[in-house]
């Protein structure tokens, strides 16, 4: 099981620790300045589909695909050719397969595909019980 200590150990080269309001422990990615609390960071480690698209640091642009968690579908973005993160796929099909695995691992009962949309994307929706 991944613990906060082992997670910090794995990510020590790219993450530095900062404190935010009320002393909340927040990890900040030194390359992208994205901020994560420990729970979010553990989820990102386990599920790359939660990461935002990252064009990387080079300028040899090509179209790649990423899972957009806001819309529950795979979207194209410009990738610069180096760096970036693991939410990057060469084809929409590859992205859809990866996101399907993510949702099945999250909760195979509550997460399901609602089929294809008009634009051909497979969209996933999560039922959240309170």
Domain count, the chain: 2
What is the per-residue pLDDT for 96?
A: 83
Question: Are 54 and 22 part of one and the same domain?
Answer: no
Question: What does each of the 130 residues of the chain score in pLDDT, given as a tens digit?
Answer: 555 555 554 444 333 444 333 344 444 555 555 555 544 444 445 567 778 899 998 999 999 999 887 777 889 999 999 999 888 999 998 888 877 765 555 443 333 334 444 544 444 443 333 3
What is the per-residue pLDDT for 79?
A: 95
Domain assignment present for residue 123? The answer is no
Range of the domain at 23: 4-46
Domain assignment present for residue 129? The answer is no
What is the per-residue pLDDT for 80?
A: 94
Domain of 105, CATH number, reads 4.10.410.10
What is the per-residue pLDDT for 13?
A: 37
Burial of 33 (0-12, 13-18, 19+ CB in 10 A): exposed
What is the per-residue pLDDT for 72?
A: 77
What is the per-residue pLDDT for 49?
A: 73
Question: Are 9 and 21 part of one and the same domain?
Answer: yes
Question: Are 39 and 54 part of one and the same domain?
Answer: no
Detail the DSSP E strand segments found in the chain. 15-19, 25-29, 35-36, 62-68, 73-79, 111-116, 122-126
What is the per-residue pLDDT for 128?
A: 37
């Amino acid at each position: 099981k991944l613990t906060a200590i082992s997670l910090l150990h794995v990510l020590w080269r790219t993450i530095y620790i900062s404190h935010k309001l009320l002393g909340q422990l927040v990890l900040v990615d030194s390359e992208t300045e994205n901020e994560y609390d420990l729970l979010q960071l553990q989820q990102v480690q386990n599920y790359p589909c939660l990461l935002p698209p990252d064009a990387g640091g080079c300028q040899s642009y090509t179209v790649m695909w990423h899972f957009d968690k806001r819309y529950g579908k795979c979207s194209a973005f410009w990738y610069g050719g180096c760096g970036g993160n693991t939410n990057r796929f060469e084809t929409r099909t590859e992205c859809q397969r990866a996101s399907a695995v993510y949702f099945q691992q999250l909760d195979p009962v509550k997460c399901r595909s609602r089929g294809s949309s008009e634009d051909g994307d497979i969209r996933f929706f999560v039922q959240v019980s309170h």
